[in-house]
Amino acid sequence: MHCTLRPLLKLGPLLAAGLFISILSGCSSTSTSPPKNPENLCEIFKEKPDWYASAKTMEKNWKVPVQVPMAMMYQESSFKHDARPPKKYILGFIPNGRISSAVGYSQALDGTWNQYKKSRGRSFADREDFDDAIDFMGWYINNTTRANGVAKGDAYDQYLNYHEGQTGWKRKTYNKKPWLKTVARKVDSRSNRYAAQYRACNLKTKSWWPF
């Protein structure tokens, strides 16, 4: 599921087939592992060309700059495909589920994920699949722009919407959470760094850039 030809096919069948064969041998060990250098967007995509293909498709579908969902995803899951929120405990030691239903790269909640699957016609979408997760984030960011007028490149307010929900953002619930605004500034800063790296790698690394 996680090592798939699907996002690569969007770049052309012949090119996709060649790329898929070239990375297949190491796919089982690297496709779901976090990138070795998550602080550099060029290095992430160099290590994981299938992620690049998925990110570019998301950008084309939703007109969302690649760096915004990537910075948000880093904050939400550290790019771990099986990320889960902390467990809850009764009396401090008896396990009692988790603090939310968030799962996967995007940490999407059950209800929001089900809305996404219905809207996109992706009944088999998987929160632990990067291609589905980043498309979900593009979908959510696009909905935020439509609902609240937040620019798609505004990582700060997009993250606040992502965390609080679009209705929560309208009510300014984040003003009661100074820690959350600090996190949103961190996401915005990383998005800006990713954008600068992304511009530079497209210009300077054509010798290895696979697409």
Decide: pTM greater than 0.75.
yes
The tokens of 7 are what? 């996002």
3-state helix, strand, coil in the chain (%, to 5): 60, 5, 35
Beta bridge partners of 87: 98
Residues 17-70 pLDDT 10s: 555 554 454 444 456 788 999 999 999 999 999 999 999 999 999 999 999 999
Inter-residue contact 116 to 140 (CB < 8 Å): yes
Residues 130-167 pLDDT 10s: 999 999 999 999 999 999 999 999 999 999 999 999 99
Angle, CA of 189, 202 and 193, to the nearest 5°? 10
Domains with residue ranges and CATH for the chain: 35-204 (1.10.530.10)
